[in-house]
A = this chain, B = another copy of it.
Amino acid sequence: MINKIAASAAAALAGVRDGATVLLGGFGGAGMPDELIDALIEHGARDLVIVSNNAGNGETGIAALLKAGRVRKIVCSFPRQADSHHFDSLYRAGKLELELVPQGNLAERVRAAGAGVGAFYTPTGYGTDLAKGKEVREIGGRMYVLEYPIHGDLALVKAERGDRWGNLTYRKAARNFGPIMASAARCTVAQVYETVELGGLDPEIIVTPGIFVTHVVPVPRSGAREAA
């Protein structure tokens, strides 16, 4: 019997190695797998490359990972936020490499990794500093930039419900990067608020089929953070 529901977040992350590329779902706080990031900090892996839309704010999630000194490089579209002080100070001190990617190119590069596309031409960024040095091509009278997939060793996503085959549903706009991050890593760990029996998720509404998921980690819905 296949049971992807893990005993704990720590068990699900036991195999993570130093230097791993980690894809993180989430947009701002929505869909951010905070409990899994806490477990990743606990695990101790270093020199990580983080791929996510933002670079963390406040003291939790990505910000806590940065503060703990575990991140070598971050690939994201929008690092600057009101209280992104951990990112800001590491970046200004030259202790953190930044690859800034337009948000849609970030999403499409991750999707390409999951979909086995070798590279693709995007109109986004053409003629800007973020396309400097990149191959360009005119197609049908329009200019495009060649972009390559972003593969992860690990993806951490926050979903709403999951089953033992790894099928996932999300909640509202917390879906955001979750489904594509889940598709693009060798090992995908999803935190869920609820686990259901097989067949408990309508096959029409499963957003991430279990083929993309390695471990499902149940977390309590009303943790201290939610209450705070």
Q: Which A residues have a C-beta under 8 Å from some C-beta of B?
A: 108, 112, 115-123, 137, 139-140, 142, 144, 148, 169-172, 202-205
Identical subunits present: 2
Contact B120 A120 (CB under 8 A): yes
On chain B, the residues within 8 Å of A144 by CB distance are: 118-119
| A90 nearest CB across to chain B (Å) | 30
Q: Knowing A169-B204, A204-B205, A205-B204 are in contact, say whether A139-B121 is a contact too (CB < 8 A).
A: no
A138 vs B156: C-alpha distance in the bound complex, in angstroms? 30
**Contact among B118, B137, B203, B205 with A121 in the assembled complex (CB-CB below 8 Å):** B118
A120:B123 contact, CB within 8 angstroms: no
Minimum Cβ distance to chain B for residue A114 (Å): 12
Write out the residue numbers on chain B whose beta carbons fall within 8 Å of the beta carbon of A119.
120-121, 137, 139, 144
Provide the residues of chain B in CB contact with A169, threshold 8 Å: 204
17 contacts between A and B (CB under 8 A): A108-B117, A117-B120, A117-B122, A118-B120, A118-B122, A118-B123, A118-B137, A118-B139, A118-B142, A119-B120, A119-B121, A119-B137, A119-B139, A120-B120, A170-B204, A204-B205, A205-B205
By a CB distance below 8 angstroms, the chain B residues around A120 are 112, 117-121
Residue of B with least CB distance to A142: B118
Residues of B within 8 A of A148 (CB): 139
Q: Which residue of B lies closest to A207 (CB)?
A: B204
Kindly list chain B residues whose C-beta atoms are within 8 Å of the C-beta of A140: 118
Residue of B nearest to A205 (CB): B205
| Nearest CB of B to A79, in Å | 25
Q: Which residues of B contact A170 (CB under 8 A)?
A: 204
- In whole Å, how far is A37's beta carbon from the nearest beta carbon of chain B? 25
Give bound CA distance, A148 to B119, whole Å: 12
**In the complex, how many angstroms separate the beta carbon of A119 from the nearest chain B beta carbon?**
5
